[in-house]
Structure 1
Amino acid sequence: MTEAGTFARPGLDLRAVPGLVLSELDRGGRGVLVLAVDGLSWQVARRVWRSAELSCLASTFPSTSATAWLTSVTGAPVTEHLTVGAAYRERAGGPLVNAITGDVLAGAAAPREPVRPLPTVFERAEGAEAVVVGRELDLLSGPWVDALTRGAARQPAREALTRDPYRLVAGVAADVGAAIGARRTRPLLLWVYVNLDDHLHRHGYDERAVEALAELERHATAWARRGWHVLAYADHGLVPVGSDPGLARRWAEVDTPELCELPGGGAGRVRWLYPHPGREREVAERLAEALDGHAMVLPATALGELGLMEFAGPVRERLGAVMAIATSPRFPLPDPGLSYEHGAISDGETLVPLARWVRSSRA
């Protein structure tokens, strides 16, 4: 998909990940190591990972971590796990919540179920010992991270957390080494969070990131040669963006208590508004004029027609009635200080890799 094109999916998406992981477990051996690389695009993985068997997966809509990681461990679409992004209305008449932390951002009511927990791949891995090394995820508490790691034991990170990609990979390697070096009586399913995203938001896929990814592949190849099944996949990619204070100001002029019940939800390059009943068309028209072609502004009811998401049931309560999907780098972001961002439907954001390293992988 180009910035202004139509959305198209490859054959598989992140819902396929649990089945693929369990299939690797069924092959026998010592177990499966899964590297969950936050922010890695298909285009970059295809260029850097030369010794892996690579497939292209489609991310979720929105292409945000909160949504994508949950789909990848449950196999459920967003219409089932209901984490429609980073910030959303928990229910009709309910508060605006931060999905990652569970914090109430606006509104007086208390949240009931900000994240719907569903069975994970860790619970389905019968006969295996499921372990998650959450690293930065261990700094979080709340319903989202509990739903993501449900059914797995948590192993603390051994090395200090860092945004430097090369030091990050060294820490991940130490974490994996500790996990696979422990005495176990059952095959291991190890899922390790690799937070490349923090670096990419500021620097993109620069030389430091590419070198770190190449080093991660060297470790993956070595683990495969030692008898481990090694997989890696990502939640989303990122694309260059540029701050436009004028567009940000015009967004704020529409996202007001006069027009909307709650502040807008979403994150990154997908955002939405919660118009007061009867003002949906007015808000959509004003937002489209304000964004001046830098976004696709549409009613949320049209998401199904685009093949993005069915706007029905609890999803209808969580999403705002007016959607804005970026079609330009100048789309007004909640965090204007970032150089790369995600959430929308371009190839750079939605196409992600699934990598597999086996004993016969080339060095």
Structure 2
Amino acid sequence: MTETGTIPSPGLDLRAVPGLVLSELGRGGRGVIVLAVDGLSWRAAGQAWRSAELTCLTSTFPSTSATAWLTSITGAPVSEHLVVGAAYRERAGGPLINVITGDVLAGEPAPREPVPPLTTLFERAEGAESVVVGRELDLLRGPWVRTLTRGAARQPARHALARDPHELVTGVVADVEAAISVPRRVPLLLWVYVNLDDHLHGHGYDEAAMSALAVLERHASGWAARGWSVLAYADHGLVPVAPDPALARRWAEVDVAGLCELPGGGAGRVRWLYPRPGMDREVADRLAEAMDGHARVMRAAELDCVEPSTQVRERLGGVVAIATSPSFPLPDPRLRHEHGALSPEEMRVPFARWVRSSLA
């Protein structure tokens, strides 16, 4: 722990996921089902999943999906895969991009820098057939999702996409059943995206979410009883937020062309600015005063929660603000629960295992 909150824990963060999955695959059996549950916190998993073996991992910084899922699939820290959030500048002088959709958000379009070609979990799963059911991920066309799923065959969703938690679980279960019903000559590594995050942003860990998670566990236990190794993990948790319009106005007064080269980027409860050359200190001081204690504001070079590198700092910009209160101004102020910062509820995530029956 530091004053910023919970930082990624070497050996017990999302970089450990590929090794854990491959170890389970090496135990034999029919194969491994991995449920990738977007937005599930450690606390919520402990309440909903009573029959699973649970290990607590820490997320990435920022604690947001684009960064965290890529680390969990490649085992690489942010300083290697360089996806520092959803919206960032790829390099000095380049445009602001959304790495998930591939859209240019600001600046002049330029030749894209691909996500570094790191080896994925699916490419490492030798002797197995890797299949991804991306569900909502199949709607994305940016470079991030192509890197995330490299080395795996894609199975289209067999059930309509849904935000309602119970409809979501119904679809996920149908997708899993479709995949495991196919006869195979080699073990299967099945990775299924479970987009609980869309519901959680509006409602948090309410009764609908928690009861749907309990239903998902019943199916996970059933698959384990049928001879499958079943694992689940998450990318981040969420916390309640109540953005203050006055703080949003103060942020906008600093995020202006006279001070910054590009509009700010960020990832929910972590945001950053791109000061003009030589203005890092001035922008940091102005933003710290504007945030009035509702964020920890620092220059990117001063970050203690991510391994520093020139490429990381170029992407983050010169000044970073990490939320320390629910009033922090968000890129989308309509949300009622958000993530991206370093609170324990955002950073602590589950890795779950349902023990496979040896009698199946």
Whether TM-score is above 0.5 comes out as: yes
Q: Which residue of 1 aligns with 2:95?
A: 95
By how many angstroms is 1:5 displaced? 5.4
Q: Which residue of 2 aligns with 1:261?
A: 261
Structure 2 SS opposite 1:36: strand
Contact 2:131 2:152 in 1 (8 A): yes
Structure 2 SS opposite 1:138: helix
Q: Which residue of 1 aligns with 2:143?
A: 143
Q: Which residue of 1 aligns with 2:40?
A: 40
Letter in 1 for 2:275: P
Q: Deviations over 1:245-304 (max 9, x none)?
A: 11111100000010000010112000000000111111001101111100000111111x
By how many angstroms is 1:117 displaced? 3.0
How do 1:340-359 residues align onto structure 2 when only pairs under 5 Å count?
340-359=337-356
Q: Deviations over 1:50-86 (max 9, x none)?
A: 0000000000000000000000000000111110000
1:271 correspondence with 2:268:
no
Q: Which residue of 2 aligns with 1:330?
A: 327
| Structure 1 range deviating more: 351-360 or 170-179 | 351-360
Letter in 1 for 2:315: R
Q: Which residue of 2 aligns with 1:301?
A: 301
By how many angstroms is 1:114 displaced? 4.8
How do 1:20-169 residues align onto structure 2 when only pairs under 5 Å count?
20-169=20-169
By how many angstroms is 1:313 displaced? 2.8
Separation in 1, partners of 2:111, 2:347: 30
How do 1:210-229 residues align onto structure 2 when only pairs under 5 Å count?
210-229=210-229
Aligned-residue sequence identity (percent) comes to: 76
By how many angstroms is 1:182 displaced? 0.5
Letter in 2 for 1:135: R
Contact 1:95 1:107 in 2 (8 A): yes
Q: 1:136 to 1:8 in 2, by over 3 A?
A: closer
By how many angstroms is 1:125 displaced? 0.3
1:14 correspondence with 2:14:
yes
Separation in 2, partners of 1:277, 1:311: 19
Q: Which residue of 2 aligns with 1:180?
A: 180
Structure 1 SS opposite 2:60: coil
By how many angstroms is 1:43 displaced? 0.6
Separation in 2, partners of 1:142, 1:294: 33
Separation in 2, partners of 1:210, 1:360: 26
Separation in 1, partners of 2:7, 2:279: 32
1:313 correspondence with 2:317:
no
The number of aligned residues is 357
Q: Which residue of 2 aligns with 1:200?
A: 200
By how many angstroms is 1:115 displaced? 2.3
Q: Give TM-score, length-normalised by structure 2.
A: 0.97
Q: Deviations over 1:2-25 (max 9, x none)?
A: 9x6543555500000000000011
By how many angstroms is 1:107 displaced? 0.9
Separation in 1, partners of 2:94, 2:254: 21
Structure 2 SS opposite 1:285: helix
Separation in 2, partners of 1:262, 1:57: 35
Contact 1:99 1:114 in 2 (8 A): no
Separation in 2, partners of 1:189, 1:360: 17
1:237 correspondence with 2:213:
no
Q: Deviations over 1:83-140 (max 9, x none)?
A: 0000000101111110101111111141421522311000000000000000000111
Letter in 2 for 1:347: P
Separation in 2, partners of 1:61, 1:352: 13
By how many angstroms is 1:311 displaced? 2.4
Separation in 2, partners of 1:343, 1:50: 27
Q: Which runs of 5+ in 2 are unaligned?
A: none
Letter in 1 for 2:45: A
By how many angstroms is 1:183 displaced? 1.2
Contact 1:90 1:114 in 2 (8 A): no
Letter in 2 for 1:350: M
Structure 1 SS opposite 2:186: coil
Letter in 2 for 1:244: D
Separation in 2, partners of 1:327, 1:229: 39
Q: Give TM-score, length-normalised by structure 1.
A: 0.96
Separation in 1, partners of 2:76, 2:179: 28
Q: 1:154 to 1:277 in 2, by over 3 A?
A: same
Structure 2 SS opposite 1:12: coil
